[in-house]
Structure 1
Amino acid sequence: MQELIDQYTGVDEDGRLTRQLITQMEFDTTMHVLSEYLAAGTKVTEQGAATGRYSLKFASMGCDTTAVELAPEQVSILKRKANEQGLQLDIYEGNACSVPFVESNSQDVCVILGPLYHLQTQMQRDQAIREAHRILKPDGIIAVAYISRFFVAGMFAQQSAQLITPDVLSTLLETGLVPSKLADSFFNVGYFATPAEMESLVGKHGFTKLRHVSTDGFGRYISFGVNNFTQAQYQTWLNYHLKTCDEPSLLGSSNHGLMLAKKSNSDRV
């Protein structure tokens, strides 16, 4: 766990979603998909809130927001930013697998936009989804983001040829892990899923799928073009992307995928 905390210490995680148009599209797509479930008074918990790019947005919309983040430095930055912006939200240092400070059946929405990138065991992934199920009201909404292992393989081919080895690719394909010393430390502490796996994970813990979207589409492969768009071109491309992001054939090639599902009223978890 300390290795993961170290990965997010001294990192401009907040700027990640703003410094390039391709990452702005990830944020804009996620907010577009979530927007119909967010309104003033909505009780929303974000697991893995980092420095608050999403949680602060939720709070600014009038949502009753709880932000949970593992890395102490990021928690401190989030608290400072909330104070600077005059926003009220509950902020906790904690782990997505266990949030005992959030009451059962109390939340309208649970957003998990980072933890599934790093929960490397099936037990941890199950715990995170069970905990989301616990805190959500009946018919509450879960939103789970993940990084596609198929995209990661493609990125290695494009940017890190030293990782194109039988061992690295077979391990990634079979387990979603990249334990190679030749890889950046982010990949060593990462977990990379398949779209089908995410649907199965959410489904087996008492949720019914609503939407499954590619938050980047194939945009990462054409990032040079996207990042050099004018603002008008970006908006045109974003509008096109939002019309196609539900296309199943795009899921594996997208850097990030996002699953939205509704808590069923059964006791199955």
Structure 2
Amino acid sequence: MQELIDQYTGVDEDSRLTRQYIAQMEFDTTMDALKAYLVPTVKVIELGAATGRYSLNFAKMGCDTTAVELVPDQVSILKNKVKEQGLTLSIHEGNACSVPFIESNSHDLCVILGPLYHLQSQEQRDQAIAEASRILKPNGVLAVAYISRYFVAGMFAQQFPQLVTPEVLSTLLESGLVPSPFADSFFNVGYFATPVEVEELVSAHGFTKLRHVATDGFNRYISSGVNHFTPE
């Protein structure tokens, strides 16, 4: 976990979803997928909230919002943003795998948009989904994000050809990990799933699939074009 904390300390995670159009489209698509559940006074919790790009918006929409974040630096930034914007959020420093400070059966919507692609063991991933199940009300909604290992392989082919080796690609395909000294540290601390695996993970904890959405998908491969679109 310390390696993961180091990865996100001092990082401008908030602007990641605004400084490029491909990331803005990720944000817009995610919000569109969630909009039916983000009604005023609904109780929503985000596990892995980073600097609050999503949680702050949930609060602005009138949701009763709780944000949980692992990295102390990101928690501090989020608290400052809440104060600057005059919003009301419940903020906790904590691990998505264990949130004993959150009451069981207490939330309508649980959003996990970052942790799943950093939890490298099956046990950790199961713990995170189990905690989400515990804190949700009966018939509550869970929204999770992941990064496909097939997408990562394509990204390597396009941007990191030094990683297109039998060793790296076979390890990625078989385990979802990229333990290569030639890879960016983000990939070293990442876990990359398959679509089927994620569906099986949530269903194993009693959830029924409502939607499975690509929030940025192919846009990442054509980012140089997308990022030069006009705002309209």
> TM-score range with shorter-chain normalisation?
over 0.9
CA displacement at 1:194 relative to structure 2? 0.6
Paired position in structure 2 for 1:169: 169
Q: Deviations over 1:8-34 (max 9, x none)?
A: 001000000000000000000000000
User: Which residue identity is paired with 2:85?
Assistant: Q
2:225 aligns with: 225
Partner of residue 185, structure 2? 185
Q: How many matched pairs?
A: 232
Counterparts of 1:29-178 in structure 2 under 5 Å? 29-178=29-178
Code of the aligned partner of 1:45? I
Look up the equivalent residue of 1:127 and give its one-letter code. Q
Give the match for residue 4 of structure 2: 4
**Structure 1 gap segments, 5+ residues each:** 233-269
The amino acid across from 2:107 in the alignment is Q
Q: For 1:3 and 1:46, locate their aligned partners in 2 and report how far apart those are by CA, in whole Å.
A: 22
1:205 aligns with 2:205: yes
TM-score of the pair, normalised by structure 1: 0.86
Q: Distance in 2 between matches of 1:59 and 1:68?
A: 14
Letter in 1 for 2:64: D
RMSD between superposed Cα atoms in Å = 0.5
SS at match of 1:142: strand
> Distance between the aligned counterparts of 2:26 and 2:87, measured in 1?
24
Any idea what SS the aligned residue of 1:25 has? helix
Deviations along 1:48-85, one digit per CA (max 9) or x if unpaired, are 00000000000011111000000000000000000000
Q: Which amino acid aligns with 2:219?
A: G
Deviation string for 1:166-203 (max 9, x for gaps)?
A: 11000000000000111111111100011000000000
Determine the C-alpha separation between the residues in 2 that align with 1:115 and 1:48: 6
The ranges of structure 1 where at least 4 consecutive aligned residues each deviate by more than 4 angstroms after the TM superposition are: none
Gaps of 5+ in 2: none
Separation (CA, whole Å) in 1 of partners of 2:52 and 2:101: 19
The alpha carbon displacement at 1:120 in A equals 0.2
Q: What do residues 73-119 of structure 1 show as CA deviations (whole Å, max 9, x unaligned)?
A: 00000000000000001000000001111110010000000000100
Identity fraction in percent: 78
Instruction: Give distance in 2, aligned partners of 1:55 and 1:159.
Output: 32
Whole-angstrom distance in 1 between the partners of 2:115 and 2:188: 15
Matched residues in 1 for 2:53 and 2:214: separation? 19
